[in-house]
Amino acid sequence: MYALAAVAASSRGEPLDVEAAVRAANRAAARTVERKGAQDSIPWRDELV
């Protein structure tokens, strides 16, 4: 979840699913350490699905 999505959900009064955010962050971190480079190693959202 990107920060903007969290702010948008918060402004609409929707609860933030912390567990889902942590799972997504864990998947992103796992993909990041598999690749070389800094910014190039950060996965796009569609790569995590």
pLDDT, tens only, 14-30: 677 788 888 989 999 99
Q: What integer best gives the mean pLDDT of the chain?
A: 82
For residue 27, give every residue at least 6 positions away whose Cβ sits within 8 Å of its Cβ, in sequence order, or none: 48
Q: What's 48's DSSP letter?
A: -
pLDDT at 4: 67
Residue 47 above 70 pLDDT? yes
Give the chain's end-to-end CA distance (angstroms, integer).
12
Q: How many CB atoms lie within 10 A of CB 9?
A: 14
Which pTM value belongs to this model?
0.60
* Dist. CA 8–CA 46, nearest whole Å: 20
Distances (CA, A) of 3 to 9, 16, 38, 49: 10, 11, 20, 19
Residue 13 above 80 pLDDT? no
Q: Who wins on pLDDT, 4 or 38? A: 38
